[in-house]
Structure 1
């Protein structure tokens, strides 16, 4: 039973100092205080990709992003999603002085390799912070890139 302890110990039964600090920093940086959907360039946005017999369906969570700030492209068998966020939250008092002013800027890009797609029939929509893309499958053939309009 002694070998099943969930952390490493040295010969005297105490946790090593390095292990203590490693665990402390791992817990701190894996906390929800640093969400994975930040727009700081270090993290991405959540994407679900589902394959059916006749199509792929992609759902990308882009909270706080406006439809006009999303660019979607399919070229050389890569689906690329670009998103920019530019938010300013202001709270002023009665004298028009700032009580609080916060800004959030960022840009994200993710690409996915998806072949055997009929690029002339790709469809995309954006509603309530979720980008939904339908990529119909085709018989192997030509690869033409094109910009995809979002409605």
Structure 2
């Protein structure tokens, strides 16, 4: 029958405090605190009586790289950037080639908006969205007749 003790646990038992110290130092992910910043983009969201106003920082992205989609009740902003740079010598031998693919996605829960009137603009790496709220119908009082 298989031993139910996890492998890492057995290693710690065999090496004692030395294994625990080693794991604490080398298994600690240095980039954990920076990961949310690397995988997302900063966005400010303000609300007025008429609309939601979003400002998203997307430096280096062109408007062709950004896709904005609304599927009730989620507004999704997706920014994709691809780079393929290469340098070749006279003999067509590859000297240096790099590829980079970056994709950022943010979803916002917004309901009761006028999806046909959403406006977007991109200038100097700042995406601005105006998401108008649906005009609420005024309530009507009804009196009981009988």
Query: Given the two structures, how large is their TM-score scaled by the length of structure 1?
Result: 0.59
Cα shift at 1:30: 3.8
Between Structure 1 and Structure 2, the one with more helix by share is 2
Number of residue pairs aligned between Structure 1 and Structure 2: 121
Tell me the equivalent position of 2:31.
29
What SS does the corresponding residue of 1:36 show, helix, strand or coil? helix
Instruction: Give the unaligned 5+ runs of structure 2.
Output: 1-17, 138-146
Q: Which of 120, 124, 134 is the aligned partner of 1:124?
A: 120
Cα shift at 1:79: 0.7
Distance 1:103 1:48 in 2: 31
Tell me the equivalent position of 2:77.
81
Cα shift at 1:51: 1.4
Distance 2:53 2:24 in 1: 40
Instruction: Give the unaligned 5+ runs of structure 1.
Output: 1-15, 38-42, 142-151
Structure showing greater Rg: 2
1:19-63 residue CA offsets vs partner (Å, 9 max, x unmatched) = 78547755722465x6823xxxxx222222111222111112223
Tell me the equivalent position of 1:63.
59
Q: 1:71 to 1:19 in 2, by over 3 A?
A: same
Distance 1:65 1:135 in 2: 21
